[in-house]
């Protein structure tokens, strides 16, 4: 899969997760303790519960994948620092996070 397609699919998945969670929060804020009853009367029965569960699982999976990629990037930086010698400089946590965010936004924009 190309980088562009991966970026587009990641962005679409994040938007679906955000949309479903926002919808749930609106119903929860509006109806409070009658939340489940309001969902059923609004046409959101068992299929909606399955969609919410799937979106939450997708969100957790994307979060885990992001954490894994950041950890992998840190390992690559430490490995590169070891082969480049002691005068290679260092990459602090803020620089690492900034580089990761820049690469993600570059993938999403392509």
Q: Classify residue 29 by burial, with Cβ atoms within 10 Å: 0-12, 13-18, 19+.
A: exposed
- pLDDT at residue 23, as a whole number: 82
pLDDT, mean of residues 102-106: 68
pLDDT for 37-93, tens place per residue? 777 777 777 777 787 788 788 888 888 888 888 888 888 877 776 665 555 555 566
- pLDDT at residue 1, as a whole number: 58
- pLDDT at residue 53, as a whole number: 82
Cβ atoms of 51 and 20 within 8 Å: the answer is: yes
Please give the Cα distance from 58 to 52 (Å, whole number). 10
Based on its alpha-carbon atoms, the radius of gyration of the chain, rounded to whole angstroms, reads 20
Please give the Cα distance from 74 to 91 (Å, whole number). 9
- pTM, rounded to two decimals: 0.48
Cβ atoms of 77 and 91 within 8 Å: the answer is: yes
Please give the Cα distance from 108 to 110 (Å, whole number). 6
pLDDT for 16-38, tens place per residue? 888 888 888 887 888 777 777 77
User: Residue 101 CA to chain centroid, in angstroms?
Assistant: 12
């Amino acid at each position: 899969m190309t980088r562009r397609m991966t970026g587009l699919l990641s962005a679409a998945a994040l938007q679906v997760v955000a949309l479903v969670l926002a919808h749930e929060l609106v119903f929860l804020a509006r109806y409070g303790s009658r939340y489940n009853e309001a969902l059923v009367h609004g046409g959101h029965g068992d299929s909606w519960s399955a969609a919410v569960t799937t979106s939450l699982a997708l969100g957790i999976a994307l979060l885990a994948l992001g954490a894994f990629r950041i950890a992998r990037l840190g390992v690559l930086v430490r490995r590169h620092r070891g082969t480049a010698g002691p005068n290679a400089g260092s990459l602090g946590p803020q620089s690492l996070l900034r580089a990761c965010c820049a690469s993600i936004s570059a993938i999403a924009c392509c």
